[in-house]
A and B are shown apart, each in its own frame.
Chain A
Amino acid sequence: DARVTQTPRHKVTEMGQEVTMRCQPILGHNTVFWYRQTMMQGLELLAYFRNRAPLDDSGMPKDRFSAEMPDATLATLKIQPSEPRDSAVYFCASGPTGLSVADTQYFGPGTRLTVL
């Protein structure tokens, strides 16, 4: 049963610390998305990749957030330095091609981040 995995599932950290979240997309999927979900803003797209290349990161605060895909099986989202307003659930999703009207996205279980 292929699924997107995310680690860690929960993270509590102090303001100013670096946070790294990891995602393993479904094998064979070419697109990877990072979302942030909060009660106030709902689900927001932070960045997405196709074939490991970043296509759009306009939703991401550039000064503290960075997203990479070191290889096809790993995507990372880093926050440095973290702030209390970054507290949210971060989801990774992957999709087959990102170019077909029939494509859906498969979501991981999320990383719940709390910044104190």
Chain B
Amino acid sequence: KQEVTQIPAALSVPEGENLVLNCSFTDSAIYNLQWFRQDPGKGLTSLLLIQSSQREQTSGRLNASLDKSSGRSTLYIAASQPGDSATYLCAVGGSNDYKLSFGAGTTVTVRA
């Protein structure tokens, strides 16, 4: 069974600082890895999707890397803003069944 771990569980930074969120997974046989954002009381919104053959994806201030062999992904958010405050979840897609396994999330607070 795929186990997904996110460290740290919570993070508080001043505005303008770069954010680094970590995700690790136990089974490297994956077909993709996704980063989602969840605002309080809301559903999840997909931020970035990295296919198993890719090493990274970028969207604006967000960059996510994938190292399948070591079972790790990192989400970088440059020049953080208060609007980036949310919970960020990492999800790994299994190669056999296409189901997503989620980490517990990292709750980010960006202080103005």
A98 near B98: Cβ-Cβ < 8 Å: yes
In this assembly, does B34 line the interface, its C-beta being within 8 Å of a C-beta of chain A?
A: yes
Query: Are A102 and B51 touching (Cβ within 8 A)?
Result: yes
The answer, among B43, B51, B97, for a CB contact under 8 Å with A107, is B43
The CA of A4 and the CA of B45, in the complex, are separated in Å by 12
Q: Which residues does chain B contribute within 8 Å of A42, judged by CB atoms?
A: 102-105
Is A91 in the interface zone, CB < 8 Å from B?
yes
Whether A110 is near chain B, meaning CB under 8 Å from some CB there, is yes
- Give which listed residue, A4, A56, A103, A109, contacts B97 with CB less than 8 A: A56
List of A residues within 8 angstroms of B103 by Cβ: 42
Q: Mark B21-53, 1 if CB is under 8 A from A, else 0.
A: 000000000011010100000111110010111
Given the known inter-chain contacts A42-B103, A42-B105, A43-B89, please indicate yes or no for A99 contacting B98, CB distance below 8 A. yes
Q: Closest CB of chain A to B71's CB: distance in Å?
A: 18
One of B43, B49, B89, B100 near A45 (C-beta < 8 A): B100
Residue in A98, A103, A107 whose beta carbon sits within 8 Å of that of B44 in the complex:
A107
Task: Check if A108 sits within 8 Å of B43, measured CB to CB.
Answer: yes
Given contacts A43-B102, A56-B97, contact A104 B43 (CB under 8 A): no
